Structure 1
């Protein structure tokens, strides 16, 4: 069932006061300064990441207007600290995400914003923040892929030979294409009737029948899913809603997924809806295999009276 973000946002505001009233505001006076958690020495930050990391660590930085942010080949992924680090080292067996392709954004999404503002800037639901992320230490993983992974989707609409080594704008068409490519290869998906486990390189279906449904879902149905609001799909039900739920589970494309290559800003107060930050789908990777990586502490959401 769809969440009710407006109602939950009001409840959050009642609990957390002014912290939620201005999610785009820079850190409050006296707020903890962000720390570089990895590498331990700032001099060891890879040159390609250094300006991005320095801006994230600077408490005097002002928030970047989302519509002005652009991709540069350096990406940001917000993770729980325990999934990224083991003490001062990268976590053994740690990955960028839990799925074969993961949602990414630009470091500017966290620049000049506290943790709440960062989470809302990348599309976290207020209910998620309150129920799941409260008290969880979060980090910003800033990284670049190896040269073998290229940015940009093919323009001719055809499946390139290196389709699994590309970073795509997070659009509906690219999500549909990735779903088709991954389910077409039996080695890229598995069946787990009992529910998901940590299998970061494969899609996880509940049954062979579900996999066949995903493979055979028609283009006309995808067009309806793309054009129809999440709540309307839920209310109507049927195959379109089943496929929409499947896309949400397989890729993490929540009800706030815009499908236009930009994040949805989930806590904007009285402002009119605005364009979000650049959003991408990139191939999952082990943290240790990334040629350039830095981890910046973002703190935790603390909710009190």
Structure 2
């Protein structure tokens, strides 16, 4: 049975600027193209989980503007439940400006906008009369809203996942009993002061993260190395699939969304991470955040071709 997932978090419009390299200070540099695509860490993970076969609902806030209307349409067309998505008059829809270099490296500037207006009361409405298997959260909406969502989900015995990005120090102690805590390398360093780069530093960082959050699993997103899983007698790197990257934007969000969907259905964290790595490997081969996210059929074919 398909996992039922609630995402409380960010929804943004991405502006993707392709250019040979990042400009130096005070330099004007001619780009090669630009495009728009759906984005935001929360929305990316929600779309990834939905396209991978999950039943996904979102709780968030958009501005009542052209970007908000466009994003609402995109999520609806994908098949996501948007009944708890608010378009707020006078607010600006969140935006991410993504500078994508020729070598595939990217840099992001984020304006959270209307995402800051997602309230604990909105979360209450999303839970009212609904049953979910899992909750996905990120750090692009107010802390109190995240905490409230976590508490409601925890009371109901749901799987809970906190994607600890963007990088910042965050009160993990307020999320005691998380199922999955999943930062990337820079987010891990911001949280515990250790940059994970090998087994030794991954273990050291994971121990602190687990102690602070009392989570079941720490899942460190390690880019092209894969993911490092710590907890419940598991301590191992799950390697990723080697592909030629075009655009890494949203690869981590893709991984998280598919990981939560798979884990909710199988309860096998290692196999779920392997499956999520395949999804992320597909995503980096295409331009844009949400346009790059693969379907369940594409993921299954990708894995079968490499078995």
What TM-score, normalized to structure 1?
0.29
- Normalized per residue, which structure has more strand? 2
Q: Which has the higher contact order (CA 8 A, sep 6+)?
A: 1
What TM-score, normalized to structure 2?
0.29
Structure label with greater radius of gyration? 1
